[in-house]
Amino acid sequence: MSVDTKNIRNVVLLGHSGSGKTTLAEAMLFESGAISRMGTVAGGNTISDYTTIEQERSNSLFSTLMHVKWRGCKINLLDTPGSDDFIGEVVCSLKVADTALMVLNGAHGVEVGTEILWDYVNDFKTPTVFVVTQMDHEKSDFETTLEQAKETFGPKVIPIQYPVNQGTGFNAIIDALRMVMYVFGPNGGKPEKKPIPDSEMDKAKKMHNALVEAAAENEEGLMEKYFDQGTLSEEELTKGLRIALAHQQIFPVFCCSAQNDKGSGRVMGFINDIAPSPADVPPYILVDGKKMTYDTKAPASIFIYKTISEPQVGLVSYFKVYSGTVRSGDELINMKNGTHERISQVYESEGKVRNSIDYLQAGDIGVTLKLKNSHTNNTLNAKGVAIQIDPIHFPESRIRTAVVPPSKSDMEKLIKALHQIEEEDPTLQVEQNATLKQTIIHGQGQLHLDLIKYRIEKNFGVHMDFERPRIPYRETITRVANEVYRHKKQSGGAGQFGEVHMRIEPYYEGMPNPDGLTVKNVEIDDLEWGGKLAFYWCVVGGTIDAKFSSAIKKGIMQKMTEGPLTGSNCQDIRVSIYDGKMHPVDSNDMAFMLASIGAFRAAFKNAAPQILEPVYDVEITCSDAVMGVIMGDLQTRRAIIMGMDSDGHYQKIKARVPVAEMYQYSSTLRSLSQGKAKFTRKFAEYVSVPSDIQNKLIAEHKEEEDDHHH
């Protein structure tokens, strides 16, 4: 069944790991009649979390698309993983959702995962409804959770309901929007409606008035009416709340026990009545800055928000229709690469089950199979349309590791498998680093990398091991050194001869010309790995022919690529060639290149050389309770604490940490904080390594070279 744009609701379920999203999705499917009995996460039989690995771990690792029919509305539900390691699945789901259901666990309150997600909700400006679940947990505390939510997300967090008797006997909810009490039987389901008891009336009225004010605030007519009559009709209230929710003027709060199906129906009723359809949301913005609205009558445009390859099926593409109607058999053109793609079949998704349908209209979300050249973030259009939907911006990686197959012969297979997963998962980057002589993968955290390893071993049959990634050190110098070097080789007929007089010094922007030298020519190059090489030609009176200058520079570059101390890239050096000798017959490019390498190597070692290491800006968000241990651990990592401040009921620690000390930090932080901390990192700069570490690195490099030569 396809429905009109105005009857579609696209809802993403967000929440910290274990807050109850998958169970809530299951309750919603059950309430709507989409399934006849509720599965459980523990039982491994829920509609969401259908992959073997998710069932093994009892945790969502991928986003799942499902839908329910509710009173003429089609609600697309996107269940997402709670772990920060799979943030890519969350971001792509937020891209296509028009409303977020933020699930809070009533026994745990606002957790650090909720905070991370809130940053993304704000980026997307997604209208958000909070659902406090697990009201029947013995430690459940609605009031504290609500207070924390207000403290963390601001005063627009306004309750619509509250539980009357939370805890193990939970069976009633007071609804301040409808001003009624819902009482549930032991098996949940449809509640009885009862009048609000006198003891609760004051509290309920206060809540109701807060809702009326929030609704009236956005509509002048409603505000006047509210002042005149002191209240609003249900219709007016609905209209006002719809506008308030769509513009993030209100974040309503519901409560329920999903597991026992108490209260989830009311959440769906609210989504049906108040949540925006794609027709109600502000226009979406295209790459060229133009604004568009969801229009069924326009030519077709779809945006692929997620791709995954399934064994036996091949590439599965999840898409949202941004414009027009997409039918099975349509031919669309990929805006990025110009290829024509036939949409052989359009499906609605129910977790792993896909039902073939004839068409989908603007605003709806669906699935198609076997596209040839289209991936996540691609826009496909009907002929003659040049729309490009703004791509999803995925977060930077936070962890890196080197990967190796058990045998050299498997390397090609491994790289191919990694690149295929990289095409599906934009939060993974695969880098074949020639300088470090390693294949390095960058991801979101240890769980993320473990999942990739699992998929490569299961789906591609290649075994893969993680090893410590090498550090991209840099080398530079800290003072001036002069060197004379003669390369001379006599063998049979032609010999080789070249002599180079070289001065090297630390380079910085705007430095004066070299002391006592006459500068003839200057070349300042940006090095591909960062930093600069300044090459000054200061030879007077033709002692070396200028035609050899490029060979001399080539020799320097060769040594800059593999520095004298550790074989790392060199940077920020000025080299002045001020004298030398040549031989009329034996001098050639090769001779001068070798003389230049010799001179640079010798001068470098006399110029107080310095190894530099990459340092990252790391920001850690954690609770007060674990702040001490986290700080203590940072001290052991040569970290410099840049600052601390509190944010809601969290602490933020800012530090600069050498990347050499960040290996496996993701796992360490998880175990230090029992999963209640998060971190982000961003490259800051290169700084000098301490002298004891420098000596150790030089010794290690020498050992490696000696092994190599034997």
pLDDT in tens, 579-627: 999 988 888 899 999 999 999 999 999 999 999 999 999 999 888 888 8
φ, ψ for residue 688 (rounded to 5)?
-65, 140
The per-residue pLDDT for 560 is 93
Query: Of the candidates 6, 8, 40, which has an alpha carbon nearest to the alpha carbon of residue 24?
Result: 40
pLDDT at 117 over 60: yes
- Residue that has been written with the tokens 């459940």 in this structure: 140
Q: Which helix (H) or strand (E) holds 358?
A: none
Enter the CATH code of domain 611-692: 3.30.70.240
Q: The domain 399-467 belongs to what CATH superfamily? A: Elongation Factor G (Translational Gtpase), domain 3 (3.30.70.870)
pLDDT at 664 over 90: no
- The pLDDT confidence band at residue 12, using thresholds 50, 70 and 90, is very high
Beta carbons of 227 and 217 less than 8 angstroms apart: no
Task: Please give the pLDDT value at position 48.
Answer: 61
Instruction: Reply yes or no on whether the pLDDT at 216 is more than 60.
Output: yes
CA distances from 3 to 76, 215, 363 (A): 12, 28, 10
Cα distance from N-terminal residue to C-terminal residue, the chain: 72
Give the DSSP letter string of 605-638: HTS-EEEEEEEEEEEEEE-HHHHHHHHHHHHTTT
| Average pLDDT, integer, range 458-469 | 86
Residue 177 has pLDDT above 60, yes or no: yes
Contact 28, 77 (CB under 8 A): yes
Assign 58 a pLDDT band (cuts: 50, 70, 90). Answer: low
Residue 417 above 90 pLDDT? Answer: no
Q: How far apart are CA 390 and CA 214, in angstroms?
A: 32
Residue 261 has pLDDT above 70, yes or no: yes
Is residue 98 within 8 A of residue 126, CB to CB? The reply is yes
Cα–Cα distance measured from residue 310 to residue 314, given in angstroms and rounded to the nearest whole number: 5
Residues 473-495, mean pLDDT to the nearest whole number:
88
Q: Which residues belong to CATH 3.40.50.300 in the chain?
A: 5-273
Q: What is the pTM of this model?
A: 0.80
Q: Which of 582, 580, 574 is nearest to 500 (CA)?
A: 580
Instruction: Return residue ranges of the chain for CATH 3.30.70.870.
Output: 399-467
Residue, of 53 and 479, whose pLDDT is higher: 479
Q: Which CATH architecture has domain 284-381?
A: Beta Barrel (2.40)
Q: Minimal CA–CA distance to 604: which of 568, 569, 573, 578?
A: 573
Strands 609-622 and 650-658: antiparallel
322-371 pLDDT, tens digit per residue, is: 998 998 989 898 988 888 998 888 888 877 778 888 889 989 999 998 88
pLDDT at 409 over 70: yes
**Residue 84 reports pLDDT greater than 80:** no
* Angle of helix 589-605 versus helix 549-561 axis, rounded to 10: 50
What CA–CA distance (Å, rounded) separates 658 from 688? 10
DSSP 8-state code for residue 276 = P
With 80 as the cut, is the pLDDT of residue 37 above it?
Answer: no
pLDDT at 53: 60
Examine the pLDDT at 54 and tell me if it is beyond 60: no
**661 vs 655: CA distance, rounded Å:** 13
CATH 3.40.50.300 fits 5-273, yes or no: yes
Find the mean pLDDT for residues 118-135.
89
Q: Read off the pLDDT of each residue in 155-173 and give the average, rounded to a whole number.
A: 88
* Gap between the Cα atoms of 383 and 340, Å rounded: 9
pLDDT band at 446 (very low <50, low <70, confident <90, very high): confident
Residue 359, CA atoms < 13 Å, CB-side half-sphere? 13
Residues of the chain with CATH 3.30.70.240: 611-692
Q: What is the mean pLDDT of the chain?
A: 86
C-alpha 474/C-alpha 568 separation (Å) is 5
What is 475-603's CATH topology?
Ribosomal Protein S5; domain 2 (3.30.230)
**pLDDT on residue 613:** 94
Report the length, in residues, of the chain: 710
Output the pLDDT for position 21. 80
Residue 49: pLDDT band (50, 70, 90) is: low
Q: Angle 654-660-665 (CA atoms, 0-180°, nearest 5)?
A: 60
Give dist(CA 601, CA 481) in Å, integer: 11
Asked if 343 and 329 count as a contact pair (C-beta separation under 8 A), the reply is yes
Taken in order 337, 339, 340, 346, the sign of the CA dihedral is negative
Percent of the chain with pLDDT over 70: 95
Measured distance CA(423)–CA(52) in Å, rounded? 22
E strands along 226-352, which residues? Answer: 251-255, 284-285, 291-292, 301-310, 314-323, 325-327, 331-334, 340-342, 346-350
Mean pLDDT along residues 83-108: 88
Q: What residues does CATH 2.40.30.10 cover in the chain?
A: 284-381
DSSP letters for 429-476: EEEEETTTTEEEEEESSHHHHHHHHHHHHHHS----EEEPPPP--EEE
Cβ-based neighbours of 584, under 8 Å, separated by 6 or more: none
* Residue pointed to by tokens 């691609």: 378
134: Cβ contacts below 8 Å, ≥ 6 apart: 20, 105, 106, 107, 140, 257, 258, 259
Decide which of 508 and 395 is more confident.
508
| Greater model confidence, 139 or 230 | 139
Q: Does the pLDDT value for residue 47 go beyond 70? A: no
Average pLDDT rounded to a whole number, residues 630-651: 87
